[in-house]
Amino acid sequence: MKIRLAEKIDINQLIQMRFDFTIEDNDTRTFHESEFESFKLECQNFLEKAIGSDTWFIWIAEEGEKIVSHIYIELIQKVPRPGRITYPFAYMTNVYTIKEYRNKGIGSKLIRTINEWVINNKYEFIIVWPSDDSINYYQKNGFKLCKEPMEFFYS
């Protein structure tokens, strides 16, 4: 199992995984082929920009040339404060492992790699909004529950 940052050659696999993740996570809706094609264009545009940026880091675990797990990290810059160096924090999202590779420690190995990367780069912290089903997964990988953030939704 190899862990590395995604490259442009990984885009097609990442697009398919994002689509599969959405389908798996939403069993009440059927997606049509035409929806995949429009999604593919939007996602490809996002991934091309993200992979070439200095704010998005897409970590993957691959077996052979197949991506089996990924975690997306966006660095969020903070407003500087007097008297201290200001480091960004990391927003973790799109955490996904293909079904047949789950419960084998792959996701945990990916998170440990990211945790080390965050420490080495002095990013302030990692934030993630877990689903109810994933809270234990994050806790066993060093994350702690915190108070819910406040949200504003316009209607």
* Domains annotated on the chain, with CATH: 2-140 (3.40.630.30)
3-state SS, the chain, equals CEEEECCHHHHHHHHHHHHHHHHHHCCCCCCCHHHHHHHHHHHHHHHHHHHCCCCEEEEEEEECCEEEEEEEEEEECCCCCCCCCCCCEEEEEEEEECHHHCCCCHHHHHHHHHHHHHHHCCCCCEECCCCHHHHHHHHHCCCCCCCCCCCCCCC
- Can you give the pTM of this predicted structure? 0.89
pLDDT single digits (tens) 106-151: 999 999 999 999 999 999 999 998 888 888 999 998 899 887 777 7
